[in-house]
Amino acid sequence: MAAVWTDHTTHGTPGAAWGRADAPVPGSLPGAGVSDSTVYAGFLLLAVVMHHWLLCLLHNKGISVSVARVAMAEMVIYIACVPLLLARLSLRSLITVFAVLGACGLFALLRGGYFDAKAARDLMIPLVFFWAGRSFGQNGRSLDRPLLAIAAVVVFIGLVQAVIPTLYNSLFNTFNYYVSLGGINSAAAQVSGQAVTLNGMRPEGIGRTLLPQVLGAQRVSSVFLEPVSLGNFAVILLGWGLAKPGAQWRTSAWFIAAALVCIVLADSRFGFYMTGLLVLLRLVLHGGAHFIGIVFPALGALLLLALATYMPGAGDNLIGRMTVSGQFLLGFDHLSLLGLRDFATNFGDMGYAYVFSRFSLIGAGLMWICFYALPLHDETARRFRAYMAAYMTLILCVSGTSLFALKTAGVMWFALGALSMRKPEAEQETEIDIRLA
């Protein structure tokens, strides 16, 4: 690889070598062909979804895992993105990075020197993986095969967990793993010798919603260790499948089938609701109507406030959790909305409260405007953005920081980055006609 970079940079200005016949394809790994880049992207995303699973296996084999070691694993993944990032290095991307770093520094000053490393990391994931996805997606490269391969791995391991849970839990004791990370207290165990996380079992009296007679009480988490994350991953797969044009219905069917299997295994009520919503959006949104997604977060916040004020609910259900989230938002004053108060508070499952307290209402609004200012050139990309806008809005209503979990957020942003490089439909049809001729 060093030889490739030396040859690439010794012909005048950086990037001059792209014009030669033996030069790397723009947007691919240095020295790699199209298939090499596809394989690399597949392994990169596989590491994104499986890194906690592998760390849990090591932990159960006696290799203690700490927060620092998890951070090191994430850092290795970010470093693995560097070849893709360098392929599309530009002044605009560097300006974006420095603007984000500057905003983090400004917040630290306004907060009396408090630097929120978690919030900075939450901002880094979209930047790194969207940028890497754009490098991968250049020249029309499709993410279908890597995503299908990852979905197959997730479904297979999920089925193994569902069929032989005792063996699986002996290898992947997720409860002990998260205790070691400080996420839960060992005293919170619901039963003696508990091997799954707290959300790995429905509370007494609630039980599974989907196929309880077949799958019993346990919720499957597959490589994600938490069923919530498996449900989130399923929604991303579902959005990818539904965003495809009608002519690619066979490929869409594979993604939709994998998503539905994951939703059932995880007993994801969120995934179940999102399935209905995304199918509805697929039926009613066409053309420029996909830009309606820009108002989704505002509608979500207003819904939370209305529920908390006029129709409060209670209990561990959709309405109950949204009510609690809305009640906390009602208690926010101007300093909280500016991110200058409650910025170190753990808001649990209250996503909007977390976002406003960490990034401020103004900062969140600017980021969302940037999200919808991304230049997307074809219908498939715009559909996927609208579906992910709905996903992000709803998940902030019922969950806390799971939207920012690397194991799912990395896949979503990489996928959007790849789609952002698709050409307009007219140009795609022209290229097809030329090849046929």
H-helix segments, 226-342? 227-243, 249-266, 269-284, 296-310, 318-330, 334-337
Helix axes 117-137, 67-80, angle to 10 degrees: 30
pTM, two decimal places:
0.87
Residue 4 has pLDDT above 50, yes or no: no
H-helix segments, 331-419? 334-337, 351-373, 379-398, 406-419
pLDDT score for 107? 86
Residue 15 has pLDDT above 50, yes or no: no
Say which residue, 276 or 342, is predicted with more confidence.
Answer: 276
N-terminal to C-terminal alpha carbon distance within the chain = 38
Structure tokens that stand for 209 in this block: 């919603």
Structure tokens that stand for 393 in this block: 């809005």
Structure tokens that stand for 261 in this block: 């299997």
pLDDT score for 427? 53
Please report which confidence band the pLDDT of residue 432 belongs to, taking 50, 70 and 90 as the band edges. very low
Dihedral sign of CA atoms 330, 331, 335, 341 in order: negative
What mean pLDDT is reported for the chain? 85
Residue 201 neighbours by CB distance under 10 Å: 20
Residue 124 neighbours by CB distance under 10 Å: 17
- 12 φψ region: left (φ > 0), alpha (ψ -120 to 50), beta (else): left
Please report which confidence band the pLDDT of residue 428 belongs to, taking 50, 70 and 90 as the band edges. low
Please report which confidence band the pLDDT of residue 26 belongs to, taking 50, 70 and 90 as the band edges. very low
How far apart are the C-alpha atoms of 65 and 51, rounded to whole Å?
A: 12
At residue 386, the 3 state secondary structure works out as helix
Contact 180, 70 (CB under 8 A): no
How far apart are the C-alpha atoms of 67 and 332, rounded to whole Å?
A: 31
The amino acid at residue 82 is: V
- Across the range 91-105, mean pLDDT stands at 84
Could you give phi then psi for residue 141, rounded to 5 degrees? -65, 135
Dihedral sign of CA atoms 187, 317, 315, 399 in order: positive
Contact 300, 285 (CB under 8 A): no
Residue 436 has pLDDT above 60, yes or no: no
At residue 208, the 3 state secondary structure works out as coil
How far apart are the C-alpha atoms of 174 and 161, rounded to whole Å?
A: 12
pLDDT score for 18? 32
- Across the range 369-388, mean pLDDT stands at 94
Contact 129, 407 (CB under 8 A): no
How far apart are the C-alpha atoms of 376 and 386, rounded to whole Å?
A: 11
H-helix segments, 138-226? 144-163, 165-171, 174-180, 212-215
Structure tokens that stand for 69 in this block: 């070691």
The amino acid at residue 250 is: R
Q: Render pLDDT for 237-269 as a digit per residue (tens, 0 to 9).
A: 999 999 999 999 999 999 999 999 999 999 999
